[in-house]
Every structure is written in structure tokens, then in C-alpha cells.
Structure 1
Amino acid sequence: MANRQHTLDRPIFIVDDEPEILLAVDTCLRMAGMDNIITISDARDVIRQMERQIPCLMILDLNMPHINGRRLLQIIRKTYPRIPVIILTGAIDVDTAVNCMKIGAMDYVVKPVEEKRLLAAVEQALALINLENKAKMTLPTELFAQIKNPKAFAHIITQDEKMHSIFHYIEAIAPSSQPVLVFGETGVGKELIGQSIHELSQRKGKLVVVNVAGLDDNIFSDTLFGHVPGAFTGAQTSRPGLIEQAAGGTLFLDEIGDLALTSQVKLLRLLQEREYLPLGSDKTRQSDARVVAATNRDLWNLERKGVFRKDLIYRLSTHTLTLPPLRDRLLDLPLLLDRFICQAANELDKPVPELPKILIEQMETYPFKGNIRELKSMVYDAISRYRKGPMTADLFKGLGIVGSGIFGSSSFGSSSFGSGETVSGSFESGAGPDKDSSVSLPTLKEASRELVEKAMKQTGGNQSAAAGILGISQQALSKRLKKLKQEQDKN
């Protein structure tokens, strides 16, 4: 195997739920001189492992519990199209294996595995990889191999280049003891980034997380700084604050933009002087905890409004990073969907459904204002109502026409409903057919016209894509557009 040394810079994955098969294939390859091998007995762990390390080749069993080989092959083909996959199959499943080759498998080997047949298939796959490397057809996701400590980011599902750049930055600043300020919309994973920063810092203490939103000054002080006996009525014993618990570690302050001004002064002193006063004490204590803060708000805008201190912003933002929203990292959407679907199906004891390409395309137009957290909630709810067959858009709340990416919210827009209220919102507030209301409903003709116009605008005039969003054929959309033009010409 002349190309072995070069191609095995990345591992070979062997995926099979039968230990004896795993052992036999692993032994066969190692005896042939290939020692960069990872064996996986649970199909649900494959994508998680691939987020840490991209294999050069995968040998995949066809019949496994939780996620069968065909479904896993579809996932791999969608997100890692250049990884060769060799199917392992029983003699009675040869037809199925051939069908798997039609959807992207490179070859198949029948069980019980014949050594010569297996090695021939592997050598062919590795030869193909070598040709692709010579042609510089490398995987985009190989950029992640440049991360020095990929395990620190294993809990973050991504193959996005912007996230990859952030990982590099985090590796660079992790040894620093200076504060880090993490910006990002709600649900983008700011706390997960805090975990990575803490892990890479190799600080001996714990990571302590506190959400400061809604805490008044007394509760904030007691929570962070603790108190001594007699500090207030009922304080009979001392209580260590979270700063003390985070000694030698990291203190993660979430929603820092909602911190009260009086509390900001105390936090500023902690950052400047590395000291604090427990409630009721006149003796300052020292802190060596590193502070990582996160917010979904514009702190400079809050400063202009007089509700956030400028000097605190400077202290918090020695190191700063901004996480992109999910709508700006759509390459991660299939990965996240697959992970959450597998998790939800496992927890709810449901079969793992097929994820059609059309569903992913529909979800790509959805605004995801709650980002990854919203996606996960949508998936769990959809799986709870799933019965059989492929996943469909109607299983996902808010993914229909009203509430899709055409509008970015569950309303027809301000032109139809005045201030952008939804139909349900109007009637819930007491407006009904026999009551006066300042909100007027559009006619069906008006609503239909606006749906078509916004679908065309959302897709940049692509009739095929717009028809897919609207759930009608392209021919039907073409007729509607022609009719709309005729009506406009008349007017």
C-alpha cells in the first residue's frame, strides 16, 4: 500500500455494533500496517467523533440500532461528501448495499469479512484520497485539524469558518488572566464558549456560572461576594459567594448588559483591584478568579443611555469576541439537526427519521431568532409528535408559511396588520367580529398577493425556490405572478 503513510494522517473509522466484527476489521487493517484507526460501536457517536477529527475513510456496518447505516451514510454524504465510505453487510443485504452505493457509498464488503476483499476495498479508497490530495481537493472542514486543542471545542457543533477563527482566537487568549467579553444573540452558545475558554486556560479552579439579569444590588452582592454572620436579619452563619467558589478558576457572568448600575461599581472594583467585600464585613478579600462576561446587548448603546458604565466596558473587554447567529452559519444547520434529532429520538424512544433535503432548505429560510436553542426546542417538539416516514415541515412549530423565513416572524407584516400583530394576537386582546378594533385583517386576495411577493423577494426572484417555500408548484406560482402583473397593469 504505497500511499499508506500519506493518507493515514487522518484516521480510519470502523463503525459496527458487533464487538467481534470491530475487532476482526481492526486487526486486519493493523496487520496491513495501518495503525491510525478509531473503532465506534454506537452509531450515535459517529457525528460527535467527526466533529473532533475528520476521518480519511469510514467502514460502516449497514444494520445497527438507533441509526442504521443507510441513514448514517446519508448524513455523512450531506456534510462530508468527500469521505469514502465502505459498507459492511450480510449476504442477505447485498441489494441494500448496492442501493447504498447509489447514494454515495464507495464499495461494500460482505460479512463474514474476507481479508483480501476488505484490504482491496480500503486500498482503492486510499488511492482515491491520494489523487484528490494531489489535485488539492481538500475538505473545507480540515481547517479544524489546525486547532491545537480540538477536545476543548468538542461540545460545540460547527464546521463554520467564522467559528473556526473564533476557536483560534480563544486558544490564543486562553492563558491570559484578563477578562473576556462575549457578544452574541440569545441562544448562540455563549456559555459553551465560556466552557472552552476555561478548559483551555488550564486553571485549577472551577467554572462558576451566574446569570446576573434581574438581580438587585443586595442579591447580586450576596450571590457573588457572600456574607458574614449578622450581615442582615437571619444571617446566622457565613456564606461563601460565587467568587470564592471560583477561586483559581473562572467566573462566567451571563447577561452582563442587564446588571444594575450600583452593582456595576462593585464589579468594577473586583476587576480593577482584584478584591471584594462580603456583605457585613469590613475586611477585603482577594480574588484570583478570571472573569468571562457575556451579553446579547449593545453595551455602548447602553452607555449612551446612561445605564452602563464606560469604564466597566473597558475593563470587561480586554479580550472580545462575537459569535455569529445561526442564520449566518447555515452550513452547520444539517449537523445540528442531525445531532438534535438523534438526541431527541433516543430520549423519547422514537425511531430516527429521515431528514429530507427539502426540509433543510425550508429551515434555511427560517430566521431562528432564538438561534441554536430555538432549533433544539423545535426539534424536540417535532420528534415528540413524529410517527413514521420522513420528517416534514408541519411537525415544526412556526416553520409553516406564516412564521417562515419569508417574514421573520409569525405575522403578515405591518402593511397588513398595522403594527405587525398576528391574527391570534389581535383576537386574544379582545378584538372580535362584534367588537371595535383598530386592527383590520387583510382579504384572502391581499394576503395571497403579499405571500407571493415576499416569497419572491426572499428568494431573489427564483421562482422554483419561492414555489417550494409557498408549498405550490412552479407552474402554479407562474400563473399567480402573471395574474398579479395583469392586475397591476390594469391599475
Structure 2
Amino acid sequence: MTQQSYPAFGILLVDDEPAWLKSLSLTLRSCAGLSNVATCQDSREVLGLLAQGGIGMVMLDLTMPHLSGEELLKQIGEQFPEITTIVVSGLNQLETAVRCMKLGAFDYFIKTDEEDRIVGGVLRAVRMKEMQQDYQEISSRFASGELRHPEAFTAIVTGDRAMLNVFAYAEAVAKSPQPLLITGESGVGKELVAQAVHRLSGCRGKLVTVNVAGLDDTVFSDTLFGHVRGAFTGAEQLRRGMIEEAADGTLFLDEIGDLSIASQVKLLRLLQEGEFFPVGCDQPKRLKARIIAATHQNLAEKETLGTFRRDLFYRLRTHQLHVPPLRERPGDIPLLLEHFLGEAAQTLGKKKPTPPRELAQLLATYNFPGNVRELKAMIYDAVSIHRDRMLSMDSFAKAVGQPRPGSAEKAAPRQNPFAGFIDLPTFSDAAGLLVAEAMHRANGNQTLAARLLGISQPALNKRLKMMRAEPV
């Protein structure tokens, strides 16, 4: 399988010295992993090559026959202002460098500069170009307000506007090689979003998932980077790390907030330098996978406390999206209920049960600390013990902490809501406020409001009649 070219745009090297072109081309390929490189020895052909499209960066010499590098730089700036230009010249003159920068050059290097300095400057320019393209793509997607590939998100059941915005952002950054950080509470579907991004990325490689929670630094290094034979006691053969397994694909690092400081340093080097060392090997290997990380933790808070490196945090969040919790999108509950009822029935070999009309309203009163994963577990549990045509609400009422009317089961002790009151309300006033709140949460459904209060519907109906009869 052929490897993908990197970066997505072409880099054109322009110089009349074939030896220098070959040397620079090999350096960029071997030291920087830049494979999408083309060369041109005749400066007169450059504008025609740029007009064909696909070139995003030009590196040129100044002293060339026919059309000088300085004149070519000026024409590129006028006709192709979107193309990034870097000058690599034999002229070590400050005035020339300043003049080139004024004409729009991104950077200026001397041919006698150390290789690392030139390669570092080119990589900075590549990242800046990628960020510009990502920004333009994101702006375009949000301006249109439509998904181009909604089929990539079929595994995520939703109709919520905030979730659709998440999809739009994910679609916009899917082809970016820069890291993506996905945040959100446990159970919201962060891995499903990562899978969708991978599908949209166009990467030929596979999605490799690594849960880094609980990995000490040694296991983390061996898991990600692999090892060579004899690297340590018991290392009897070569082992490829997960980074190599994800080559030309996506490496998904779940629970990144649990990573130790020592492992964070190694991950930062991987992201900054684009290379890694297998355990026991002194020859670096290039990173050829896109990194997606996810966490349910507040990394900004951990960074403030000193338990997460600031430089790694900002490197990971080059692109960042937040998946909202289920309690912030209650409109998804009926959709998810219907979806998981069908899925559970098929899995358990049963006929799909009919849910009570008030079930979705009952679930909407619960804040779901476990989010979609918790709702799925509730539904599977209810379907597994289901016998009649109509699905029982008892297991749901128990799960959300609402005892059945007349049940002897008692909820866990709670803090007294009246403890801080100076003047206590009368019993009648307190009961009236409680009933009003239950009716509000149940959207006027008396059956559901009665369940929330733990009383029978006739008792609630009687209380409502008394409230209406009371003088204002």
C-alpha cells in the first residue's frame, strides 16, 4: 500500500544547481518526513507550475539565470499570494534578507546554515500553512451550516443543535494533520466522535485506540513506541508500538488526563519533533499517524495545579471540540430510547417492547451522570427482564432514584433543603411549592409528577384541586 504524501500541499524547490536541489530534497524527506516535494531548475517555469495548482510552498534561491529569485518572489506575491515562500540563498546580506521579507518571504536562510535550522524553519512554515487551511475550512463549514458527509456520524443518535455543531467542527478538521483534543464527561461518546473523524480523514491506515489510564511510564513507552530485541530482560523479539500500527492512520489516546508527567514529556517530544525512539533503539522513527486525544477531566485545571504540562496541553488542543452531556440535550432522550430499545431487543433475541408514554419524560428529569452509556445500560436492563407488551417503568424509576408509589424503599439521606431558612414555610406552602415543581419537571403530566413525588396519582390530583381552591 502506498503511503500518503505529506504535507497535503506540494513544496516546490527552485534552484539552478541540481546538486543543491537533490541535497535539500533528500534532507526534507529524511529529516522532516516531507515527501510531497518537487524540484525545478529553470526559474522561468515556476509560474506555470504554480498555475497548475497543488503547490502550497516555494523554496527558492535568489541568484539564478533568466529570472532572478527576487523578481520571482515578487511575481509569486502578486499572482499567488496564498503560497508561502521561503528564500534559501547563498547571499549572507542583511539588506537582501530585509528586502525579501518586505516582498512577502516567510523566512530567509543561508545555504551554509545548519540543516536543523533550515528543516525547523520549513516545518514551522508547513504548520502555519496547515493552520491557515484548517481555519479556512472551519469557517467555510460553519458558514454553510450543512454537513457534507452526515453518513460518517450514523453511529451517534442525536437531533440536538449543539451536537450537530460538534459534527460540523469534526468534519472541518478531519483532514488536518494537527492534533485534536476531544473533551466531555464519561459516556458522552468521545470515541464515537474520534471514529467519525478518522473515517472522514481519508487516511489509508487504521484507527488504533490506546487507553493510557493506569499505564506507568515504562509500559506507556513500550506500548506506544515498541522495543527492539534485547532492549530489556524478556524482550526476545522486536515489537512494533501502537504508533507504527497506526501508520498512515489515526492514533487515539483515550483518558489522556491520567498520563504521568514523565510520559507527558515523551508525548510532547513526539508531537513537537514528529519522531520517536523505540525502547532500546538509538535511531529515531518518524511519526506517520494523526493524533487524537480524549479526556473527561479538566486539563486547564490540571495544568494550573501542575499535574499536566502546559506546553503539552496547548499542543494537544490545536483543534478542540467538546461533546455536551446528555442532560444538556434532553431532546435526544426519546431518540436514544427508541434506538436502544430496538438494539437491546435484537441483541437479547426479544420482540421490541412498547415504552410507556411518560417514560421519556421521567428520564428527562434525571441528570445522567453516566450520560448515554448509562441510559443504554438502563434500557438493556429493562429489556432483559421485560415480559409483557408494555415496557415496565419500575426499573427506570429505581435507577433514577424515584421509588414506586407505596413502595417501602427509601432514598439515600439528603441534605435538608430547609436547613438554612430563617423563617420556615408552612406545611401547606411547602407542599404546594413541591407539587408545582414536580408538575413543571413533568411538563404537566400528572402520572409522571406523582412518580417524582412518590405518591399516587389520585393523591396528587387531590392536592392540585386543593391548591386551585385556595384563595390567592
- Please give the TM-score of this superposition, normalised by the length of structure 2: 0.60
What is the rounded CA distance, in whole Å, between the counterparts of 1:151 and 1:234 in structure 2? Answer: 46
What is the rounded CA distance, in whole Å, between the counterparts of 1:354 and 1:329 in structure 2? Answer: 23
Deviation at 1:393, TM superposition (A): 1.6
> What secondary structure is seen at the aligned counterpart in 1 of 2:306?
coil
Deviation at 1:483, TM superposition (A): 9.4
1:243 match: 243
Counterpart of 1:413, as a letter, is R
Is the 2:227–2:281 contact (alpha carbons within 8 Å) kept by the matching residues of 1? yes
Deviation at 1:482, TM superposition (A): 9.8
1:469 match: 449
> What secondary structure is seen at the aligned counterpart in 2 of 1:222?
helix
Is the 2:441–2:449 contact (alpha carbons within 8 Å) kept by the matching residues of 1? no
**1:476 and 1:161, CA in 2 relative to 1: closer, same or farther beyond 3 A?**
same
> What secondary structure is seen at the aligned counterpart in 2 of 1:414?
coil
1:386 is aligned to 2:386: yes
2:402 match: 401
**1:461 and 1:248, CA in 2 relative to 1: closer, same or farther beyond 3 A?**
closer
What is the rounded CA distance, in whole Å, between the counterparts of 1:242 and 1:308 in structure 2? Answer: 23
Equivalent residues in 2 for 1:263-274, closer than 5 Å: 263-274=263-274
Is the 2:450–2:457 contact (alpha carbons within 8 Å) kept by the matching residues of 1? no
**1:459 and 1:478, CA in 2 relative to 1: closer, same or farther beyond 3 A?**
closer
> What secondary structure is seen at the aligned counterpart in 2 of 1:366?
coil
**1:458 and 1:468, CA in 2 relative to 1: closer, same or farther beyond 3 A?**
closer
What is the rounded CA distance, in whole Å, between the counterparts of 1:385 and 1:339 in structure 2? Answer: 18
Equivalent residues in 2 for 1:207-222, closer than 5 Å: 207-222=207-222
Is the 2:439–2:449 contact (alpha carbons within 8 Å) kept by the matching residues of 1? no
**1:334 and 1:279, CA in 2 relative to 1: closer, same or farther beyond 3 A?**
same
Equivalent residues in 2 for 1:2-401, closer than 5 Å: 146-396=146-396, 397-401=398-402
What is the rounded CA distance, in whole Å, between the counterparts of 1:179 and 1:199 in structure 2? Answer: 16
What is the rounded CA distance, in whole Å, between the counterparts of 1:364 and 1:144 in structure 2? Answer: 32
Counterpart of 1:161, as a letter, is R
**1:144 and 1:176, CA in 2 relative to 1: closer, same or farther beyond 3 A?**
closer
> What secondary structure is seen at the aligned counterpart in 1 of 2:193?
helix
Deviations 1:443-484 (A, max 9, x none): xxx9x9999866644654879447623334566236558999
What is the rounded CA distance, in whole Å, between the counterparts of 2:358 and 2:268 in structure 1? Answer: 51
Deviations 1:340-395 (A, max 9, x none): 11111112122211122211111111111111111111111111110003112203
**1:465 and 1:239, CA in 2 relative to 1: closer, same or farther beyond 3 A?**
same
Deviation at 1:208, TM superposition (A): 0.5
Q: Which moves more between the two structures, 386-395 or 218-227?
A: 386-395
Counterpart of 1:414, as a letter, is Q
What is the rounded CA distance, in whole Å, between the counterparts of 1:144 and 1:367 in structure 2? Answer: 33
Counterpart of 2:172, as a letter, is A
Identity %: 49
Question: Number of residue pairs matched?
Answer: 311
**1:144 and 1:412, CA in 2 relative to 1: closer, same or farther beyond 3 A?**
farther
Deviations 1:385-425 (A, max 9, x none): 1000311220334135159xxxxx96342239x9xxxxxxx
What is the rounded CA distance, in whole Å, between the counterparts of 1:145 and 1:376 in structure 2? Answer: 30
Report which of the two structures shows the higher radius of gyration computed on alpha carbons.
Answer: 2
1:414 match: 415
Deviations 1:129-169 (A, max 9, x none): xxxxxxxxxxxxxx999311112111111111111111111
Structure 2 gaps, min length 5:
1-142, 405-409, 420-426, 468-472
What is the rounded CA distance, in whole Å, between the counterparts of 2:144 and 2:448 in structure 1? Answer: 34
Structure 1 gaps, min length 5:
1-142, 404-408, 419-445, 485-491
**1:413 and 1:457, CA in 2 relative to 1: closer, same or farther beyond 3 A?**
farther
- Please give the TM-score of this superposition, normalised by the length of structure 1: 0.58
Deviations 1:52-81 (A, max 9, x none): xxxxxxxxxxxxxxxxxxxxxxxxxxxxxx
Is the 2:386–2:392 contact (alpha carbons within 8 Å) kept by the matching residues of 1? no
